[in-house]
Amino acid sequence: MEAELIIMFMVAATTSAYFLWFHQLSRRLTGPKVYPFFGSLPILFLNRARIHDWIAGNLRSCSINGGSGTYQTTTIAIPYFARKQGFYTVTCNPKNIEHILRTRFDNYPKGPTWQTAFHDLLGQGIFNSDGETWLIQRKTAALEFTTRTLRQAMARWVSRTIKTRLWLILEKASQEQFPVDLQDLLLRLTFDNICGLTFGKDPETLSTELSENPFATAFDSATEATLQRLLYPGFLWRLKKLFGIGAEMRLRKSLQVVENYMSEALTARKLNPSDDLLSRFIKKRDVDGNIFPNHLGADTSSVALSWFFWLIMNNPLIETKIINELTSVLEETRGSDPNTWISDPLIFDEADKLVYLKAALAETLRLYPSVPEDFKYVINDDILPDGTKVPAGSTVTYSIYSVGRMKSVWGEDCLEFKPERWLSETGAKFVPPKDGYKFVAFNAGPRTCLGKDLAYLQMKSVVSAVLLRYRLSLVPGHKVEQKMSLTLFMKNGLKDFKYVINDDILPDGTKVPAGSTVTYSIYSVGRMKSVWGEDCLEFKPERWLSETGDKFVPPKDGYKFVAFNAGPRTCLGKDLAYLQMKSVVSAVLLRYRLSLVPGHKVEQKMSLTLFMKNGLKVYLHPRDLTSA
């Protein structure tokens, strides 16, 4: 009897102590409601289909009445774990993002959670490594993104793929009036281009038959299965891996296909060295004499283009401005005959002159960044610029998606699609934000995307290839929404994050504990009025232009736009990405007007990149340039 009373007393005391602790914890947290033991997981699970908008909504609520656009929550409401593995600091404050990506870069690596989950797929490649390994691979990869290699990539891969394959498929669809999934075509095109640039080998997934490619299918499947590891406790996916069940079984089979393809490419390059990226890595060996693992990273140009074409179909006046710029540039370089404008895809110099188109693409990435959120692990305790304390061992998330939707960042019109916000007063120059960290679609700081310029070039080429020939329309009944994936496909893109090495305090005053994870929501940054103004939700390319409209003007605060990352990890391929996007856009818009298939729903896919869940199904209508 006494033993039972003692047990009952201990249970009651433990329960009381726990709920007293939980009450104090929930009072300190500023984010969504937390529940005993499960923290904010239940409400996160309920909002998983709209995760980016949910995060943006939470951050907007935190920025009301002078808030900084930062909140903290936990997914494990258990003592010790609540301030470590399960503790999340979520922010869309550009000053915090700059602090994470540049000022205290070494304190916010990818961290063990990310590296362990993605090791089977990405190994110790540039997308998954930290420290000296990452730095060496970064320097090697940077050699592949010079102006000379960008010109070569345009001619050898982008232009050739557009002319010999993309146009054939679009022309057939236009003549026979059957709908095409534009996102699927763009994914295939950019996948082929990236493989060519990386391995010197074109898998030809974009073909008139549009048949499945084993490598592309396996890589996509492996990526999706790997993503699921981030959604479950580590012990659970390790247990599934041990017994080879569920997603882990699919991952094992898919990785075998990927490894076989990589092995063939590696053998070919050893026998016949070239100037592609793989050949450069073969020459770089670690201390054990092993070649650095080099797995293909997720390409984001196709995702950005899918959202761009959807926005264009909903903003015909902006489409007209893009067409006018394209025809003006091509008339200058090719003469007054419209037939010469659509005879060949853009060359490097033509794509480079498309200022308004670049502004429209940047505006697309502001509202729909390919990587909506990024995560960082906190090594040491820190304090963010807004005063938030971040404990070591926790996670910091910066929401790139939310930044673009914050009025405090982009102004009252932040939700408008407004390319003019990227132009000079005359409209002649592209003017990025003065605060470079209010736009980090290509990351920022040391990890800025190496392929940024290639992405812009490719996107410009594709847009011109399509819009100069066709007018697009959405397929009736097609729903456009986000998809759960590594990128913001059209259902619920997922995230990238940083591990906290040491306790730190972010610029907004948030304390981040060592060992936690910091998630920065790139998606949210673009939707914050405090960052982009009242029109932050508008698609407004003009916000990227100088007053005259002749220059592209990026934000002065470079960390309000980190679509290409920022700081030391700024994407090396940023310029290549822009060139590629310009090429694709011009290749499409000079030929076609696009319209959504009626009923097609456009929504996001849950992924690390902002894919469209159902693809982008459109009709192509031949464009008459003589009346443009």
Residue 29 structure tokens: 């947290």
Q: Where are the beta strands (DSSP E) in 462-588?
A: 468, 470-474, 478-489, 498-505, 508-511, 517-525, 527-539, 542-552, 556-566, 571-573
Q: How far apart are CA 456 and CA 307, in angstroms?
A: 14
Half-sphere exposure of 170 (CA within 13 A, CB side): 37
Nearest to 214 by CA among 264, 179, 166: 264
Nearest to 496 by CA among 368, 365, 371, 367: 371
3-state secondary structure of 608: strand
Is 449 flagged in the annotation as binding? yes
Dihedral sign from CA coordinates of 468, 474, 475, 478: positive
- Classify the phi-psi angles of 597: left when phi > 0, otherwise alpha if psi is within -120 to 50, otherwise beta: beta
Q: Where are the beta strands (DSSP E) in 100-253?
A: 180-181
Q: For helices 234-243 and 214-231, what crossing angle results, to 10°?
A: 140
Q: How far is CA 346 from CA 465, 573, 586, in A?
A: 8, 19, 7
Q: Where are the beta strands (DSSP E) in 351-476?
A: 373-383, 386-389, 395-399, 404-406, 411-417, 420-430, 434-444, 449-451, 468, 470-474
Nearest to 494 by CA among 166, 81, 168, 51: 51
- Which residues define the annotated binding site? 449
- Which residues define the annotated binding site for heme? 449
